[in-house]
Amino acid sequence: MFGLQGSALPSPLPLTASIDTRAPLLRQDPRFVSHQSETFISLSMASSFTDPRFVRAASHLAPATLRVGGTSADFVNYTLDYQRVHYPCVPNHDYPFPMYPGLNFSLYALEAIVNFSVAAGFTLMLDVNELTGRDCHGGTCTNTTWDTRSLRAFLSHIRDAGLAVDALEMGNELWGGRGPFVAQDFFVLSALLDDVFGDAPGRPALYGPGDDCGPELFPIIASLPGRRGFSFHDYPLNRINDTLNASRLRTVGSAASACLDAWNSGPRAAGVGLWLTETASTYNPIALLESFQEGFFTLVSIGAYARTGVARWARTQLTDANDAGTGGCFTFGLLHPHEDQWDAAADYWVMALHQRVVGAGVLNVSAPGGNSPALVFCYCGVAPGTLAVAAVNVGATPVALSLVDGGGAPLRTAPRLEWVLTAPGGNLSAPAPLLNGAAPPLRLQSDGSLPPMPPAPVPAGGALELLLPPFSQAFFVLQAASAAACGGTP
Helix axes 52-59, 107-120, angle to 10 degrees: 50
Distance CA 354, CA 33 (A): 9
Counting the structural domains of the chain, the total is 2
Domain boundary among the residues 359, 376, 398 is at: 359
Q: What are φ and ψ of residue 347, in 5° steps?
A: -80, -5
Distance CA 318, CA 46 (A): 13
The answer on 461 and 388 residing in a single domain is yes
| DSSP H helical ranges for 270-337 | 286-289, 294-306
Asked whether 206 and 223 are in contact (CB, 8 A), the reply is no
The answer on 190 and 54 residing in a single domain is yes
Number of H helices, E strands in the chain: 11, 26
Asked whether 197 and 228 are in contact (CB, 8 A), the reply is no
Measured in whole angstroms, the distance separating CA 77 from the mean position of its chain's CA atoms is 27
Measured in whole angstroms, the distance separating CA 231 from the mean position of its chain's CA atoms is 13
pLDDT for the residue numbered 284? 67
Domain boundary among the residues 359, 375, 409 is at: 359
The answer on 275 and 153 residing in a single domain is yes
The answer on 337 and 435 residing in a single domain is no
Burial of 454 (0-12, 13-18, 19+ CB in 10 A): exposed
Distance CA 342, CA 367 (A): 39
Per-residue CA distances from 133 to 69, 83, 101, 150, 433 (Å) = 18, 22, 11, 11, 47
Q: How many CA atoms lie within 13 A of 177 on its CB side?
A: 22
Residue 424 belongs to a domain = yes
Asked whether 18 and 51 are in contact (CB, 8 A), the reply is no
pLDDT for the residue numbered 218? 85
Peptide bond into 440 cis (omega under 30): yes
Burial of 357 (0-12, 13-18, 19+ CB in 10 A): buried
- The CATH number of residue 20's host domain is 2.60.40.1180
| Nearest Cα residue to 132 out of 215, 188, 67, 76 | 76
Domain boundary among the residues 324, 359, 394 is at: 359
Residue 369: which residues within 8 A CB-CB, separation 6 or more? Answer: 15, 16
pLDDT for the residue numbered 97? 45
pLDDT for the residue numbered 327? 46
Instruction: Give the end-to-end CA distance of the chain in Å, rounded to a whole number.
Output: 31
Question: Which element (helix H / strand E) includes 230?
Answer: strand 228-234
The answer on 69 and 188 residing in a single domain is yes
The answer on 378 and 352 residing in a single domain is no
The answer on 102 and 210 residing in a single domain is yes
Residue 6 belongs to a domain = no
The answer on 473 and 345 residing in a single domain is no
- The CATH number of residue 130's host domain is 3.20.20.80
Is 33 in a helix, a strand, or coil?
Answer: strand
Residue 389: which residues within 8 A CB-CB, separation 6 or more? Answer: 376, 377, 378, 379, 401, 403, 466, 475, 476, 477, 478
Residue 220 belongs to a domain = yes
This prediction has a pTM of: 0.94
Per-residue CA distances from 295 to 252, 380, 390 (Å) = 14, 21, 12
The answer on 230 and 127 residing in a single domain is yes
What is the span of the domain harbouring residue 457?
A: 13-25+364-486
Average pLDDT by stretches of 10, the chain with 490 residues: 54 96 96 94 86 96 96 89 75 45 88 97 95 71 82 97 96 58 87 96 90 77 92 85 92 87 91 94 75 96 96 92 51 79 94 98 90 96 98 97 96 98 96 97 97 98 96 98 90
Distance CA 434, CA 186 (A): 47
Which CB contacts under 8 angstroms, 24+ apart, belong to 83-92? 83/108, 84/46, 84/47, 84/108, 84/109, 84/323, 85/43, 85/44, 85/46, 85/109, 86/44, 86/322, 86/323, 86/324, 87/40, 87/43, 87/44, 89/328, 89/329, 90/329
Residue 403 belongs to a domain = yes
